[in-house]
Structure 1
Amino acid sequence: MSAEPILELRNVHSGYGTIKALKGVSLKVYPGEVVAIIGANGAGKSTTLMTICGIIAAEKGEVLYDGKKINKVSPEKLPIKGLCQVPEGRRIFPRLSVEENLILGAFHRKDQEGINKDIEYMYSLFPILGERCKQHGGTLSGGEQQMLAIARALMTQPKVLLLDEPSLGLAPIIIQQIFDIIKDINEKNGTTILLVEQNANLALQAATRGYVLETGEITLEDKADALLHNPEIRKAYLGE
């Protein structure tokens, strides 16, 4: 593990008007890790990712990426720096084809040969996207749209990928495929991943370390395996 985190939150507070969603969140993500944030609905998991990306402003505290403060960096500039989010609800371009969605993921890149190569790589990672490459994104199933959202984000060549609820609303067989690919991306490409996920069991199985978020505060941090076998976590989040 690198001595310096690639992504760090220091005492971050943020929210929606008078609603304080994050109340002093501090966490670290090191290069090459998969880090999971687990917690109940409304705990502040998605807000954490949106605050990292600047979609919600941090009212207090610091968000650091690659050692530099990014609180004031506009969200559209972060993918160029190597920090990219796959938002909850996928948010692909429904009227554009699969291939056009992927090309838009590489909007800031000038290396056409590299872009073409990466599109082919996405089709090898997600064969169904290759089969559907000329279809409009809006005609894909939920699972296929989630695959497209991840593939589009990977076209930015991210150092750090933020994944917000990748299993939401998907069938178990598709969820397993998505998580197998998440592991693959991390192991083969070395992409660092910060994962927010309602399914605590799957998230912790995929992760190196994990944080438990409760009503806007980190209440526990440990290696993923230790959290997976923690009786309190098993009772609260794994239905035991």
Structure 2
Amino acid sequence: MSDQPILELKNIHSGYGSIKALRDVSLKVYPGEVVAIIGANGAGKSTTLMTICGIVSPEKGEVYYQGEPITKINPENLPPMGLCQVPEGRRIFPRLTVEENLILGAFYRDDQEGILKDIKHVYELFPVLGERSKQHGGTLSGGEQQMLAIGRALMTKPKVLLLDEPSLGLAPIIIHQIFDIIADINKNDGTTILLVEQNANLALKAATRGYVLETGEITLEDKADALLHNPEIRKAYLGE
């Protein structure tokens, strides 16, 4: 693991008007890691990702990507830099086909041969998308739409992939398929992943390290396995 984080938040204060969603949040993600942020609804998990992506501007603090500050960078310029988010709720283009959604993920790229190669790679990761390549995105199941959202993000060739609640609203068998693919993307493609997930058990099993976010503040940081076996975490987030 590199000594330098690829993504870092330093003393972030962020929110929506008078609502202070994050207070003095600091975290680091190193190249090749899967880092999980766990916490209850309303803890500030999604706000953390939106602050990283510039959708929400921090009142104080700084976000660094590959050692450079990015809080002043236009959000649309981040995917070409290798930082891409799969938002909560998927947000695919329902009237476009699966393949058209994937092509839009590569909208800033001009390497046609590489784009076709990466579409093929997405179909290898998610065979069902290959089977439905000419089908409109809106006709897919929830799980298939989540696969498409991840596949579309992969078309940006991300160095860091931000995943916001990838298991939300999905059947257990589909959730495990999605998380198997997340592990594959990390291990075989070398993609660094920052994962926000309410299912703490699932998130920590998939992660290298984890942070616990409570009412806008980081209350605990540790290796994922240590958090998974922490009695307080098991009681608060794993139903024990």
Separation in structure 1 between the aligned mates of residue 84 and residue 3 of structure 2, nearest angstrom: 23
Structure 1 residues without counterparts, runs of 5 or longer: none
Look up the match of 2:109: 109
Describe the SS at the equivalent of 2:28.
strand
Look up the match of 1:203: 203
Look up the match of 2:72: 72
Residue by residue, what CA displacement relative to the aligned partner does 1:11-45 show, whole Å, maximum 9, x if unpaired? Answer: 00100110000001000000000000000000000
How many residue pairs match? The answer is: 240
Describe the SS at the equivalent of 1:205.
helix
Separation in structure 2 between the aligned mates of residue 58 and residue 146 of structure 1, nearest angstrom: 28
Separation in structure 1 between the aligned mates of residue 25 and residue 93 of structure 2, nearest angstrom: 32
Describe the SS at the equivalent of 2:226.
helix
Deviation, structure 1 residue 110? 0.8
Q: CA RMSD in A?
A: 0.3
The aligned amino acid for 2:78 is: L
The aligned amino acid for 2:100 is: E
Describe the SS at the equivalent of 1:179.
helix
Look up the match of 2:39: 39
Describe the SS at the equivalent of 2:25.
strand
Describe the SS at the equivalent of 2:56.
coil
Look up the match of 1:54: 54
Q: Indicate whether 1:148 and 2:148 are aligned.
A: yes
Separation in structure 2 between the aligned mates of residue 96 and residue 59 of structure 1, nearest angstrom: 37
Deviation, structure 1 residue 6? 0.2
Describe the SS at the equivalent of 1:107.
coil
Aligned 1:86-165 pairs, distance under 5 A: 86-165=86-165
Separation in structure 2 between the aligned mates of residue 33 and residue 27 of structure 1, nearest angstrom: 13
Describe the SS at the equivalent of 1:157.
coil
Separation in structure 2 between the aligned mates of residue 208 and residue 163 of structure 1, nearest angstrom: 15
Look up the match of 1:167: 167
Residue by residue, what CA displacement relative to the aligned partner does 1:60-90 show, whole Å, maximum 9, x if unpaired? Answer: 0000000000001111100000000000000
Describe the SS at the equivalent of 1:135.
coil
Separation in structure 2 between the aligned mates of residue 118 and residue 127 of structure 1, nearest angstrom: 13
The aligned amino acid for 2:15 is: G
The aligned amino acid for 2:11 is: N
Deviation, structure 1 residue 9? 0.2
TM-score (norm 1): 1.00
Residue by residue, what CA displacement relative to the aligned partner does 1:159-194 show, whole Å, maximum 9, x if unpaired? Answer: 000000000000000000000000000000110000
Separation in structure 1 between the aligned mates of residue 121 and residue 9 of structure 2, nearest angstrom: 32
Separation in structure 2 between the aligned mates of residue 218 and residue 37 of structure 1, nearest angstrom: 9
Separation in structure 1 between the aligned mates of residue 121 and residue 82 of structure 2, nearest angstrom: 18
Look up the match of 1:235: 235
Deviation, structure 1 residue 96? 0.3
Structure 2 residues without counterparts, runs of 5 or longer: none
Separation in structure 2 between the aligned mates of residue 59 and residue 140 of structure 1, nearest angstrom: 39
